[in-house]
Structure 1
Amino acid sequence: MHSATGTGESMSGYSQAGAVQNGEAANQRHYRAFVLDADGNVLRIEHLTVQNDDAAISLAGAMVEGRVIELWDGLRFIEHFEPSAATK
C-alpha cells in the first residue's frame, strides 16, 4: 500500500476497468477518487482513467478497503463510498 502522500500516484493493485487499448485514449474520462480518513481529511488522491461513470464507480468501489472514498469527475461529485461494517 502506498503512503498517504497526496501526490495522486496510482495504486498498482487496481486495474483500470473499462480502459481502452490500442490508442483509443481520446474516449477516456479522467476521474479522481479521494481516499479519506475517519475525520474526512484527504489521505491521497487516486487518478482514474476509464471510459465512463459506471467503470469509475466500479473501480472506486473496489478501493474502499476500510476507508471512505469519494469519486469526482472534475467539479462533478459522483459517489460517496463508506466501508462496510465488516471492514471498519
Structure 2
Amino acid sequence: MRKVFEGTFIVAGGYTREDGNKAVAEGRTDLVAYGRLFLANPDLPRRFQLDAPLNKYDRTSFYTSSDSVVGYTDYPFLETEP
C-alpha cells in the first residue's frame, strides 16, 4: 500500500498497544485506530502510558437502541493518584 498511497496511512482491527507501536516503528503505518479498546477505556492513552490493565469491552453494547442505558458511558476510568 505504501508504494501507491502517499497520504497518511491508518490501520485498525484488533491491534494491541504492542502491535500498534511495532507497526508504527516499522513504518507499516502512520497511525493506529483503537476503536473497540477506546469504547471500553475512555482513558486509553493514559492506560497505554502506564501499561495499566484494560477494561474488557462488551460487544453487545456497541450498537444499542436509543432507549438503552447501557453502553458507551458505563466503562470506568482508571483510578490513579495525581
Q: Where is the helix percentage greater, Structure 1 or Structure 2?
A: 2
Q: TM-score, normalised by structure 2?
A: 0.25
Q: TM-score, normalised by structure 1?
A: 0.24
Q: Where is the strand percentage greater, Structure 1 or Structure 2?
A: 1
Structure with the larger RCO, 1 or 2 (CA within 8 Å, 6+ apart): 1
Larger of the two Rg values belongs to structure: 2
